[in-house]
Amino acid sequence: MRSRKLENERVRFGYFVLDNLQKFVEQQVAGRGYGTSRKYVHELIRHDKDRQHLRDLLLEGASSETTEPVDAAYFDSLRARASRQRSR
């Protein structure tokens, strides 16, 4: 009987890339301090996952109803709040 995989369990998979992409990956690894191509690919996947999550949140927010009017007073309040947070 197989046990269920844990959410953070590592899974090994291989991939092939064209020569010109391999050279690019090697340049990124050397120039940006990733150490290995595996770490570089892992970072790309993590960034893409974060980007997709942010996109989903933006789409969810865009499709939701506003709870207050979005007018000049709203943006003035938003700027004031951002300014206070920046000065902390």
Q: Compute the residue count for the chain.
A: 88
- CA gap 45, 39 in Å, rounded: 10
On the question of pLDDT at 67 being above 90, the answer is no
**Band (6; pLDDT cuts 50, 70, 90):** low
For residues 46-62, give the mean pLDDT. 96
**Band (57; pLDDT cuts 50, 70, 90):** very high
pTM for this model (two decimals): 0.62
- CA gap 80, 50 in Å, rounded: 28
- CA gap 55, 49 in Å, rounded: 10
Tokens 């050279």 correspond to: 23
Identify the pLDDT of residue 60.
95
Identify the pLDDT of residue 69.
82
Handedness of CA 67, 70, 76, 79 (dihedral sign): positive
CA 54 to chain centroid: 7
pLDDT top residue among 13 and 27: 27
For residues 37-41, give the mean pLDDT. 94
Tokens 């007018």 correspond to: 71
